[in-house]
């Protein structure tokens, strides 16, 4: 059953994955308005709910096993839907196991370190899911589109000269390889928004008073760099989609579809990791048996020694009864078939 689910998910997300080594040209290769023809918006809530349930189940096991961690990197143009995606996709997951870190313009302290430092400080621990709302990829996106930001990074001349982006791609790839080798899966999601949908979402922020706080005139001014960002994203996808940490390009013009895609990629990653609840050894089982006997001996007069066990047994009995009915039904059906045959044979005789 789980294998079937995993196979279906793998098939669904395959077209979103950037093949390692592929040269990407966003405008040509990925349509921000795409939705799968077999999915309808009216079913979106139910599908997302199913994804959320899978995430909750696997996150609990991930935490219990305490061996693997997951880092989710979310990148998008402004109004791409990062915040809403996190809110919806992670809605059913135990908040203790998930940390969200947002990255804004770096502080003076952050600029005083290497460019990966502030991201390394926020990595998830084993058993945790860490979400980067913007990530180390800003270092090859906004910093590339605005070269003055690179100047502010106080780099020695050789570290900001020619070939700086190629070098950063290599450094990022090996950092992610190192994390993967050490038990941390890196999942990279680019919410791919169209320029027209961004315009509409900005207007919504202007027109709706409860969204005014989210609007920034600077974000709207940044639209004049749209083509530079598209080029930077294309180059980033081309050079940093690796076997160990591939990029997924999520069509983001339809929020309902984007959320289903993100949920599918995350569920698939967790299933691939396949975390399990740790099994206890014989000594621990013996311990549990002794504790049980002690607790049962403490039952007050008239109380069941172990009310929970009684509950389990009732549940099991109900299930057993259900099975008997199924058996009985099969028997009935068999008898009906026999009777029909007999009736037919007698009809022929008559």
Give the integer Cα–Cα distance in Å for 306 and 297. Answer: 10
Residue 134 or 254 having the CB closest to ligand AMP: 134
- Please tell me whether residue 142 binds ligand AMP under the rule CB under 6 A: yes
CB of 147: closest distance to Mg ion in angstroms?
A: 20
213-232 binders of Mg ion (CB under 5 A): 219
By C-beta, is 126 or 214 nearer to ligand AMP? 214
Any contact of residue 202 with ligand AMP (CB under 6 A)?
no
Q: How far apart are CA 12 and CA 24, in angstroms?
A: 20
Residue 217 and residue 22: Cα distance in Å, rounded?
36
For the bound state, the minimum distance from the C-beta of residue 182 to ligand AMP, rounded and expressed in Å, comes to 24
Site for ligand AMP in 284-343 (CB under 6 A): none
Q: Does 139 bind ligand AMP (CB under 6 A)?
A: yes
Q: Does 134 bind ligand AMP (CB under 6 A)?
A: yes
Interface residue with ligand AMP, options 104, 221, 301, 349 (CB under 6 A) = 104
The binder of 149, among ligand AMP, Mg ion, none, by C-beta within 5 to 8 A per type, is ligand AMP
Instruction: Report the residue number, 79 or 129, with the smaller CB distance to ligand AMP.
Output: 79
Under the binding rule (CB under 6 A), the answer on residue 51 touching ligand AMP is no
- Closer by beta carbon to ligand AMP, 51 or else 81: 81
Q: Is 143 in the site for ligand AMP (CB under 6 A)?
A: yes
What is the three-class DSSP state of 98? strand
Q: How many residues bind Mg ion (CB under 5 A)?
A: 2
C-beta neighbour count of 332 within 10 angstroms: 10
In angstroms, what CA-CA distances link 253 with 3, 35, 189? 31, 9, 15
CA separation (Å) from 317 to 103, 306, 309, 323? 54, 17, 12, 10
Nearest to 278 by CA among 23, 72, 63: 63
Q: Are 243 and 20 a contacting pair, CB within 8 Å?
A: yes
Other beta carbons within 10 Å of 189: 26
**Per-residue binder mask for ligand AMP (CB under 6 A), 70-99, x = binder:** --------x---------------------
CB of 327 vs ligand AMP, minimal distance in Å: 60
Burial class of 101 by CB neighbour count within 10 A (0 to 12, 13 to 18, 19+): middle
105 is a contact residue toward ligand AMP (CB under 6 A): yes
Q: Which of 32, 51, 106, 275 binds ligand AMP (CB under 6 A)?
A: 106
CA 96 to chain centre: 16
- CB nearer to ligand AMP: give 191 or 271: 191
Strands (E), the chain: 69-76, 98-102, 129-133, 184-192, 247-251
Write out the residues near ligand AMP by the rule CB under 6 A.
78, 103-106, 134, 138-139, 142-143, 149
């Amino acid at each position: 059953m789980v294998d079937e689910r995993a196979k279906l998910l793998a098939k669904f997300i395959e077209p979103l994955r950037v093949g390692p080594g592929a040269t990407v040209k966003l405008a040509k290769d990925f349509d921000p308005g795409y939705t799968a023809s077999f999915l309808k918006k009216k079913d979106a809530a139910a599908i997302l709910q199913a994804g959320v349930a899978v995430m909750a189940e696997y996150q609990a096991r991930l935490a219990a096993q305490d061996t693997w961690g997951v880092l989710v990197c979310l990148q998008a143009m402004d109004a791409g839907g990062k915040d809403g995606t996190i809110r919806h996709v992670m809605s059913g997951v135990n908040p203790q196991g998930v940390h969200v870190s947002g990255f804004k313009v770096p502080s003076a302290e952050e600029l005083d370190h290497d460019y990966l430092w502030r991201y390394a400080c926020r990595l998830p621990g084993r058993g945790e899911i860490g979400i980067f709302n913007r990530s180390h990829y800003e270092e090859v996106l906004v910093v590339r589109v605005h070269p003055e930001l690179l100047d502010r990074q106080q780099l020695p001349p050789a570290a900001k000269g020619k070939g700086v982006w190629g070098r950063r791609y290599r450094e990022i790839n090996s950092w992610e390889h190192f994390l993967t080798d050490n038990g941390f899966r890196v999942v990279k999601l680019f919410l791919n928004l169209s320029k027209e949908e961004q315009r509409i979402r900005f207007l919504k922020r202007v027109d709706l008073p409860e969204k005014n706080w989210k609007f920034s005139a600077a974000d709207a001014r940044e639209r004049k760099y749209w083509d530079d960002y598209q080029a930077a994203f294309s180059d980033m996808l081309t050079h940093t989609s690796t076997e160990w940490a591939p990029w997924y390009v999520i069509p983001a013009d339809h929020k309902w579809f984007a959320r289903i895609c993100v949920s599918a990629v995350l569920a698939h990653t967790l299933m691939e990791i396949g975390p399990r609840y740790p099994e206890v050894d014989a000594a621990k089982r013996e311990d549990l048996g002794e504790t049980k006997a002690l607790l049962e001996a403490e039952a007050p007069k008239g109380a069941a020694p172990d009310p929970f066990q009684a509950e389990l047994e009732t549940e099991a009995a109900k299930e057993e009864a259900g099975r008997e009915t199924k058996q009985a039904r099969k028997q009935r059906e068999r008898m009906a078939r026999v009777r029909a045959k007999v009736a037919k044979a007698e009809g022929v005789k008559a």
